[in-house]
Amino acid sequence: MSIALQIPNVAPAHPQAHPPYKLSENELRLRSQFVATFTHAPQPAWELQIAVLDLTDELKSRGELAEGVVKRIKYIAAIPISFHYRAGYRSAHSRLADTVNKAISLSIARYFADEGG
């Protein structure tokens, strides 16, 4: 019998560094708003607002701090850039940056609205 056949089939001792991220329904809705902005497909402004407010409420209810909510929004906004690199990149990136700033402002306002401050 060869040495290769004598080695037991064992899983690696070290786990994955980070499990793959799975986006929630609210995160997917916000992502679709960012993709629409990046690809210059007009969407009603209220859809962005609802997606941001729902995501903020979801993350806050899970105990996420305001900084974590902002980081998550930025993470979701990075997805369209990585998958939709196109010829008009500079203008698309500018539109996306404006939309992300609006989303962050809405999220921060929503996060602290209940605290009265």
**Does the residue 17 lie in any domain?**
no
SS3 assignment for the chain: CCHHHHCCCCCCCCCCCCCCCCCCHHHHHHHHHHHHHHCCCCCCHHHHHHHHHHHHHHHHHCCCCHHHHHHHHHHHHHHHHHHCCCCCHHHHHHHHHHHHHHHHHHHHHHHHHCCCC
Average pLDDT, integer, range 89-107: 89
**Does the residue 2 lie in any domain?**
no
Dihedrals phi, psi of 49, to nearest 5 degrees? -60, -45
Q: What is the mean pLDDT of the chain?
A: 81
**Does the residue 105 lie in any domain?**
yes
* 17-50 pLDDT, tens digit each: 545 568 899 999 999 999 898 888 888 999 999 9
* 103-114 pLDDT, tens digit each: 999 999 999 997
**Does the residue 96 lie in any domain?**
yes
pTM given for the model:
0.73
Position 39 scores a pLDDT of 83
Q: Judge whether residue 7 has pLDDT over 60.
A: no
**Does the residue 12 lie in any domain?**
no
Provide the domain limits for residue 28: 24-113
Domain tally, the chain: 1
**Does the residue 13 lie in any domain?**
no
